[in-house]
Amino acid sequence: MLEKAIQGSALYWIWLLVLLAVIGVGFFSYLTQLDQGLSVTGLNRDVSWGFYIAQFTFLVGVAASAVMMVIPKYLHNHKAYARMLILGEFLAVAAVIMCLLFIIADLGQPQRLFNVILYPTPSSILFWDMVVLNGYLFLNIFVGWVTLQAERKRVGPPRWIIPFIYISIPWAISIHTVTAFLYAGLPGRDFWLTAVLAPSFLASAFAAGPALLILLAYVIKIFAKWDPGKEAIQSLAKVVIYAMLAHLFIIACKVFTAAYSMVPDKLEHYKYLYFGLEGHTMLATFSWVAISAGVIAVITLLFPKNRQADNILAFSMILVLMSTWIDKGLGLITAGFIPTPLHHMATYVPTQTELLITLGIWATGFLIITVLYKVGIGVRKEIESG
Amino acid sequence: MNSNRRKFIKIAGLAALGWSICPPLAGARTSRYKRIEEGLRAERWAMAIDTAKLTQEVMDRAIAACHELHNVPKIENDQNIKWIWVETFYNLIYDQSHPFLQERQLPVLTLCNHCDNPPCVRVCPTKATFSREDGIVLMDFHRCIGCRFCMAGCPYGARSFNYFDPKLFLNEDDMNRDFPARDMGVVEKCEFCAHLLDQGERPACVEAAEGALFFGDVRDPDSEVRQVLRERYSLVRKPKLGTEPQVYYLI
């Protein structure tokens, strides 16, 4: 099937070259980081995780959200997803690979990465995150490829693949739960120290992932001339609304707990996140953009007419992505570190090198998505043209 | 000929497998370690800091002694390294302070608490940071992958990361050759001078502070530390977190 990836239009190749160029820039920035250490980042003694770890967290959610199509398709026989499911699975593959790259980019001693396997430490949640992420990557490549191959041969998926599909459902939940546990189990970080962190991660993930998928579906419709189906997109849009409502609700619950209890250890973080501390209000501006974008998207989509209009739906999905990305990709990590455990104000702004490396990894993800989608859609077209 | 080669490869393969699983098969000697009984031993090391005796001069001396001994680089930005440093009493113990407390702005020394229940050890994915039997929390600079999970896990801000190559900030001639300089990209922190204790000496900061810091076995009722804890009122940082810090502040 892979041969389909090397047969494409000029536009396809130009797009791949553009992505490769961005990856190249990212790679050279990474060489600088390897040479000069993480001193080239905006990270510091107080805010010791930043943009890389935030992207990682956001993308674990995108990866996990494939389950929002797997459950209806395999547990409820929701036929509308039959044609599009492969897109969800391949998106998960690309997202997990980006996650792993972001983790590596964040390490101070990346050449010692395999110490995590050499000295396995079950007490560390990071150890378990490695286990579940790699397992999920394997499951999605495996299930996606085997089912696609079966379809190409015009037969149903082999029976032995079914257990892997069923396992992939709780496994998807587990990757984002374990990722939330990275933060939620730390005694001194009150912003993260909440039982609602894993559920809130899942809620925002199930909004962000399907939103991205809907946008990708529109891109495919335009550039690959293949329609994933109106019903599939409409079903996904409903998932986005429910998930986004749950996400906003959980934010409100967290804010209430901090604001009404007025316990300073919790409240200070929310003050920083939404109003800024000691004049540092940049993150607060972003936070309000996130809240507004989320609320506007939900209100818009609650009306079926809006949902069914492609333009409005696509625009709302951009708002949802913006909202959830700011929430996890900017706010979550930084606000967890500020104020510091010693009640000092600290700052963190990603540097240019950091942004270029981040962009390079995103481009890698999009390259993987492009190639995998080229194969997946190629096979689909082949089947549907009889 | 063919079957001979085949046999040879088979045996060589099995032998390699055997030796890699159990090296003594190849005649490799398993080394025997001797326990050196010199040095200071305790069931549980702890420190008590007499906040009343901490003059600026005493604190500067303690910091200088520590940072020189351990080749801690002086970096003048927020990507710096600190093993022992000065904070106000309020910043250290804000959860047990109030606005009218006399000592609120008092400068106090702070360092790793060598917790009995250390979150940094719990979260480390490679056991690069670990608790010794006598409670000292140590770092293996050669195993650390630089993920900085321990820094997020530490509720006391006691850990520093080598964002830079520390050698850039160290003068080759002034470096202490008896303690390793770190590589770029690993985490470090106070070690209660475990290497000095093993040689029979007390921690550098304790020696330098001349009576402002007490150090000893907190499980031994007759130790100096226990004696001052009996006589004076003392606090630990963030006791509600259950980390059981072993650095006590005498008020």
Note the ipTM here: 0.92
Assign residue A66 the CATH number of its domain: 1.20.1630.10
Mean pLDDT of B64-89: 95
CA distance A63 to A202: 11
Decide if B143 and A36 are in contact by the 8 Å CB cutoff: no
pLDDT of B172: 86
Percentage of residues of chain A with pLDDT beyond 90: 87
B164 contacts in chain A (CB < 8 Å): 36-37, 39
d(CA B236, nearest CA chain A) in Å: 14
Decide if B145 and A43 are in contact by the 8 Å CB cutoff: no
CA distance A360 to A22: 6
User: Over the Cα atoms of chain B, what is R_g?
Assistant: 23
pLDDT value at A302 more than 70: yes
**Of residues B123, B144, B187, nearest to A124 (C-beta):** B123
Rounded to whole angstroms, what are the CA distances from A307 to A14, A212, A321, B102, B157? 33, 15, 16, 63, 48
pLDDT of A133: 96
pLDDT of B219: 95
Contact criterion met (CB below 8 Å) for B108 and B131: no
pLDDT of B227: 95
Q: Out of A182-191, A299-308, B14-23, pick the least confident.
A: B14-23
pLDDT of B2: 61
Whole-prediction pTM: 0.92
- Reported as type and span, the H/E element at residue B250 is strand B247-250
* Smallest CA–CA distance from B168 into chain A, residue: A36
C-beta atoms surrounding B71 within 10 Å: 21
* Residue B87 confidence class, pLDDT cut points 50, 70, 90: very high
Identify the three-state secondary structure at position B21: helix
Interface probe, candidates A111, A114, A115, chain B, greatest B C-beta count within 10 A:
A115
- Structural domain total, chain A: 1
pLDDT of B23: 67
pLDDT of B36: 62
Pairing of strands B129-131, B137-139: antiparallel
pLDDT of A64: 93
CA distance A337 to A58: 18
CA distance A349 to A44: 10
Q: Where are the beta strands (DSSP E) in B79-151?
A: 84-88, 107-111, 129-131, 137-139
* Smallest CA–CA distance from B120 into chain A, residue: A186
Burial class from Cβ neighbours inside 10 Å (0-12, 13-18, 19+) for residue B86 reads middle
pLDDT of A5: 82
Mean pLDDT of B36-55: 90
pLDDT of B5: 85
* Residue B1 confidence class, pLDDT cut points 50, 70, 90: low
A38 contacts in chain B (CB < 8 Å): 146, 161, 163, 185
DSSP-assigned letter for residue A295: H
In which domain, by residue range, is A376 found? 2-384
Mean pLDDT of A131-148: 94
Percentage of residues of chain B with pLDDT beyond 70: 93
pLDDT in tens, B7-32: 888 888 888 888 877 766 666 565 66
Average pLDDT, chain A: 94
Mean pLDDT of B191-196: 95
Contact criterion met (CB below 8 Å) for B213 and B206: yes
Cβ contacts of A247 within 8 Å, gap of 6 or more: A200, A203, A204, A207, A294, A324, A327
* Residue A364 confidence class, pLDDT cut points 50, 70, 90: very high
